[in-house]
Amino acid sequence: MIFCVEDEANIRDLVVYTLETTGMEARGFEDGPAFFKALAENLPELVLLDIMLPGEDGMSILKKLKAAPETRHIPVIMLTAKGAEYDKVLGLDSGADDYVTKPFGMMELVSRIKAVLRRSGVKTEEAEELVVGQIRLNKKKHEVYAAGVDVTLTLKEFELLRMLMENRNIVLTRDRLLEEIWGYEFGGETRTVDVHVRTLRQKLGEEGERIETVRGVGYRIRGEKDEK
């Protein structure tokens, strides 16, 4: 379980949603009192803590966490404002395990969380099955179903769909897809991605409409948050 203490509702909700779609449990809190109330009931594996909070600020909350025997072992990642070097240094000196500067990318945040959990000895389990709408993808079995129908995909089509589903609602550039799926280290032959997206859409039937083209950038798959 990851606790996210962030007073900006749009950021908090997006963080919680992203963590849940990548196989983690997460809860969000807008301030210190709500966070400490939940802490008394359940100890998280990691805390994401914004420094600028209404009432008691993040630095004060961090010091309380590190001072209490029952919570001092919990890893903490501070969320800091851009260029706030003093806050970063103070946070690390006060016991924070890492910091992320706003604005931050969701997948970068997920990577930093996993890295801190690895260092602290906490094992994270990624979701074996991904679900977006009526599309279900099982990573271990390499099975895909769309609206209950078994869909046969090539290895590259499967990896493309997996990557889109793991990053639902997030635009992935053609260059990034090329590099991570095909292993290209340069932005050439992006038509390869376009061709695979087209065949993937066709094989998924009506559910293929969830894969959206973001003109001049790349592709994303539309998850439940963006549905009308």
Residues 21-62 have pLDDT tens digits of: 888 889 999 999 999 999 888 889 999 999 888 888 888 999
Average pLDDT over residues 181-195: 69
Average pLDDT over residues 127-136: 84
pTM (2 decimals)?
0.55
CB-based contact 27:47 (threshold 8 Å) = no
Nearest to 4 by CA among 46, 41, 43, 42: 46
Average pLDDT over residues 194-202: 94
pLDDT at 98 over 90: no
pLDDT at 225: 43
pLDDT at 227 over 60: no
